[in-house]
């Protein structure tokens, strides 16, 4: 089964062909451990508080099945700041990007959550101010 996790504060990236769950309600989601073949967390972590973001990552770790893939996409504060200082990103666009986001973080903090255990990083790609991390459970 595939699952997309979203935030009630940002729902514009919902996929129509994938089951979805709200990040703030994951604790009540009736999903057995090791049952999901793919989990997508697209622009979700930065739109929820830090406690829900950590709970979301723990949910993904527990629910992903062996061989399953976890994809996390969000903005990267380090890249954003670097691009503002190098004039690749205007301050105005920076402010637009962070508007309504409450948990602005960097990709390496997400990656470090999975450093121990049986989930490995398949790829980490930066695209301007965003990151995409693909994990696999081994």
Which whole number is the average pLDDT over 20-33? 85
What confidence tens digit (pLDDT) does each residue in 11-24 have? 666 677 788 889 98
Q: What is the pTM of this model?
A: 0.93
Query: How is domain 2-137 classified at the CATH fold level?
Result: Rossmann fold (3.40.50)
Query: Any idea what the Cα angle at residue 29 is, between residues 57 and 107, rounded to 5°?
Result: 15
pLDDT of residue 16: 72
List the structure tokens of 87. Answer: 């004039």
Q: Which of 7, 8, 117 is nearest to 58 (CA)?
A: 117
Which whole number is the average pLDDT over 76-95? 96
Domain ranges of the chain: 2-137
pLDDT above 70 for 69: yes
């Amino acid at each position: 089964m595939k699952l997309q996790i979203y935030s009630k504060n940002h729902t514009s990236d919902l996929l129509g062909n994938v089951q979805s769950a709200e990040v703030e309600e994951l604790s009540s989601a009736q999903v057995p451990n090791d049952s999901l073949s793919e989990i997508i967390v697209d622009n979700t972590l930065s739109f929820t508080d830090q406690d829900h973001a950590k709970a979301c990552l723990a949910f993904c770790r527990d629910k992903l099945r062996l061989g399953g893939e976890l994809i996390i996409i969000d903005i990267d504060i380090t890249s954003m700041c670097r691009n503002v200082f190098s004039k690749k990103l205007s301050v105005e666009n920076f402010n637009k990007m962070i508007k309504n986001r409450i948990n602005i973080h960097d990709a390496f903090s997400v990656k470090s959550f999975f450093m121990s255990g049986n989930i490995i990083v398949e790829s980490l790609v930066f695209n301007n101010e965003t990151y995409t991390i693909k994990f696999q459970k081994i």
